[in-house]
Amino acid sequence: MAAGTADFVVIANRLPVDRVTAPDGETLWRKSPGGLVTALEPVMRSNGGAWIGWHGASDEKLKPFDHDGLQLVPVHLTEQEVAEYYEGFSNATLWPLYHDVVVAPEFHREWWDSYVKVNRRFAEKAAKVARKNAVVWVQDYQLQLVPRMLRELRPDLRIGFFLHIPFPPTELFQQLPWRKEILEGLLGADLVGFQMPGAAQNFVRLVRQRVGHKTHRDLVYLPDGRTVMARAYPISIDAAGFEELARTPHVLARAAEIRESLGNPTTVILGIDRLDYTKGLRQRLRAFGELIAEGSLHVDDAVFVQVATPSRERVQQYKILRDDINRLVGRINGDVGRIGHQPIQYLHASYPREEMAALYRAADVMVVTPLRDGMNLVAKEYVACRYDNRGSLVLSEFAGAASELKSAYQVNPHDINGLKASLLEAVQSGPRTSAKRMKAMRKQVMENDIERWAGNFLRELNEGPGAHAMTLRPSAP
């Protein structure tokens, strides 16, 4: 297949832009919020980069286009493919399986067939776009078959893959009827990246057991002579960008306004999550409700603000969760609230980055208690915004971030009594204790940001076994 136009290609389920309609009816594209594009943008600009992804609308084909100097290559999906490849196999099969089977995954052959078909479409698009000896970086669980498919089409390419969510232990992964195909798909990459060392070890163990390749530590030796590396690269955020935003007068004024609108309570507790059954919303709300009911916290002094960003609204499990959380919030507020004082302020909405920064600045305690999470960047965003070294973080030990943010109040979210005790300790901690803990977390987050993460991954991809001569320039001159 003929080589294309880009020396560096990113392949992700979605393009890094959202379509918006201007007041005059004109269609515009706006860069999506998120650290990944922020980190990769300079590398893409310096290397004639292209980003391949779905543009968010079904049954619509768009030609490649440039946005703000970036080459964007849309991949079309039919309505049926959105239902089967994305909502089905990606989010009702892989997502629950990879998150410790918090809910039961569904295994449907037609979903798998659609997953294969769409992954092939992404791989074929990349094969056309990538120049000879280009570097290609495939992102996340929706596209685990792409590395091998692309390798077969373009053996000259240097291919990396990064999984943003957890990779499950052997006992769970083996439930997947297509387990061998997924493993072989990932082995098309030269470097397979995970959030945690344990995930990389799970992968290597499964390859040895289920595919039969020879392995040694983080290396897999393939019969064709290639060596695949499997390593951990804990992802991070644009830490300096968040701190800069948190220091702006507008955000500070908005933070004060938020506290005032809550009645200027002594303590503002905050949770910000996608509405997802992996995030532990039920457990934390129950714990807070019990603390109010038993008098450990007073309804006049403490308010819990829970932002639940709408997510996968058409998937049945998410509809059930939304209704459950609505009922739970209503019951707790009805039981322990009183006129003018609702202890839980529940917001089922998404907010821009500026509002998130204001919420982080307004909160005395941040509660991040997923039942399972690859990393959880909200925890790091809160820390980056607390340049005053105030505030406390209550963090699930089952979030990847727990291995880095060791000074957080770490909890088992299934242990409601333990969660209550940690919440209370965080609320009651003195300024010296809070400052000591926050300083340690801020050092970790500020020194290990998203640029360092991307740089480490791409450097090892370029320098690993079998690397060709071409290397990416890290940023524009």
CA distance to 282, 289, 343, 345, 437, per residue, from 330 (Å): 12, 11, 11, 10, 34
Q: Which two tokens stand for residue 95?
A: 């997502």
Q: Which two tokens stand for residue 336?
A: 């322990």
Spot the catalytic one: 7, 140, 364, 373: 373
Closest CA to 311 of 87, 10, 128: 87
Helices H, strands E: what count in the chain?
A: 17, 18
Q: CA-CA distance, 94 to 107, in Å (whole number)? A: 9
CA distance to 52, 111, 300, per residue, from 61 (Å): 13, 22, 55
Q: Has 164 been annotated as catalytic?
A: yes
Q: CA-CA distance, 186 to 203, in Å (whole number)? A: 10
CA distance to 79, 128, 233, 236, 311, per residue, from 38 (Å): 30, 25, 17, 11, 23
Q: CA-CA distance, 52 to 8, in Å (whole number)? A: 11
Spot the catalytic one: 76, 108, 164, 341: 164
Q: Has 373 been annotated as catalytic?
A: yes
Q: Which two tokens stand for residue 299?
A: 């309804």
SS3 448: coil
DSSP 8-state secondary structure symbol assigned to residue 341: B
Q: Where are the alpha helices (DSSP H) in 313-415?
A: 316-336, 353-362, 377-385
Q: CA-CA distance, 92 to 207, in Å (whole number)? A: 24
18 - beta bridge partners?
30
Query: Order of strands, edge to edge, in the sheet holding 158-162?
Result: 65-67, 70-75, 50-54, 6-14, 130-139, 158-162, 191-194, 227-232, 219-221, 214-216
Q: Name the one residue in this structure whose structure tokens are 């990396």.
A: 160
Annotated active-site positions, please?
Answer: 164, 373
